[in-house]
Structure 1
């Protein structure tokens, strides 16, 4: 799901939660006794109703507070997941590494070859690598946009087994830059152009090794509660969406400077 759409759904859920919380005030305000009369309950309901009509900003404030708490809880949960899955996140031998393999800062990207925002972020990653010789980038193929994305991920993962790192990075860029829907045919054509054995490629794309690599990424994404692409992991922070070159650059510089994305 595109990040913006997910945010809209999240906001709608918060509105419903806030409304439920306000309705619950009636129950909380009422004496917790079995003998509470119907007139008493009706009177309390009217007081709450009139107060909300006179002060509708209370609903907005409740939504804002719910949203703040949700973000804090989600950030805490993601930090724990990053710590627990650090080895697979940053050092898995099953996913491609671009930039400096021995770099002092690692940026992890979860992407989908059919993701328009990932295509936009491709140039950001290229600029980051070109301008930072100590940056290491791990590519996590996270196929969430349908069957074509899964097929492309299978071929791409198999291509990584055949192609040298610089050739695979070229493959990755070409496939992400492909116009229109991307699937098996487009991935094979680009791999062939770069010298891959297509018969072996198709065979390897269904191998246990390739399936395990994709499964590993899906499980990591699930543990981090990722619902869309691109998403990034830098240090212990999870960054959601195509945030742009400069914000990523600043966070990388901060990580190098003080060990955190915000110093």
Structure 2
């Protein structure tokens, strides 16, 4: 909706004052409508700041509506988001705030966001971190995600998964099956078992679950996050993430 659409009721009221012979909007003649349009145009030219005010109000309302939609979606899917047995869970597993990241191994922003996640884990001992594979960029991303799920199946505690995750996401070049298996080998995992597990129903179910959750919350890119009740789409940097964690923890950017 354009900002002008928000202004029309007030501006038509103003125009009606200037054209008292018109009893209602339905009774306006073509000539009267032309006069009203002239009044509106003249008003906007004389007061262009009104458009800025209308746009600011529109953005505010849209953001509030989006926040409400996100919170409802998080509430409806909370168990799968925060406590799914298919999650990779790191940090403080009993933490007071859960930080969920949806990522793609071929996402350049995810590579940079990984250091933010690691910094948060080091600096915030009360933070629970959940990683969810969300391979949206390429077939190589899907292959890498399938290896990652097989790694999680082999390493439910997450220590080797984190090593694998850093090696693959932090490596150079596009991620695919070959690079993912090489990273798993470097992390000390059983590659033969991974190749076997990659064909299991659990791998498909995990990726499908993550895609369904992302769709339900309107996530259309990576990285995307759920932090408390908040949904965040896109890389917002370490300070932005800390602010979201603070809001989830105590209702303020800094607790």
CA positional deviation for 1:134? 3.1
Q: Structure 1 pair 43/227, CA: closer, same or farther in 2 (3 Å)? A: same
Query: Residue 240 of structure 1 is aligned with which of 223, 229, 233?
Result: 233
Q: 1:171 aligns with which of 164, 167, 170?
A: 164
Q: Does the alignment pair 1:44 with 2:36?
A: yes
Match in the other structure for 1:11: none
Cα deviation, 1:91-134, whole Å, max 9, x if unaligned, reads 01112111222333321111111122211111121122123333
Which residue, 182, 187, 190 being the options, matches 1:194?
187
> Shift of the alpha carbon at 1:194?
2.7
Paired residues, number: 245
Structure 1 equivalent of residue 71 of structure 2: 79
The alpha-carbon distance between structure 1 residues 21 and 248, as it changes in their structure 2 partners (threshold 3 A), is closer
Equivalent position to 2:3, from 18, 37, 43: 18
Q: In structure 2, which of residues 217, 220, 227 is the aligned counterpart of residue 227 of structure 1?
A: 220
SS in 1 for 2:90: strand
Q: Counterparts in 2 of 1:84-123, with a 5 A limit?
A: 84-123=76-115
Secondary structure of 2:130's counterpart equals strand
User: Would the alpha carbon gap of residues 47 and 80 (structure 1) be closer, same or farther in structure 2, given more than 3 Å must change?
Assistant: same
Structure 1 position 251, deviation (Å): 4.4
Stretches of structure 1 that go unaligned for 5 or more consecutive residues are 1-15
The CA distance in 2 between the partners of 1:141 and 1:47, in whole Å, is: 56
2:170 and 2:162 map into 1 onto residues whose CA distance is 12
Measure, in 2, the Cα distance between the counterparts of 1:21 and 1:252: 35
Residue from 128, 134, 142 that aligns with 2:126: 134
Does residue 210 of structure 2 align to residue 217 of structure 1?
Answer: yes
CA root-mean-square deviation:
2.6
TM-score of the pair, normalised by structure 2: 0.84
In 2, the alpha carbon distance for the partners of 1:126 and 1:36 equals 65
| Structure 2 gaps, min length 5 | 17-23
In 2, Cα distance between equivalents of 1:207 and 1:109: 24
Pick aligned residue for 1:160 from 152, 162, 170: 152
2:135 paired with 1:143: yes
C-alpha distance in 2 between matches for 1:246 and 1:59: 32
Moved more, 233-242 or 89-98: 233-242
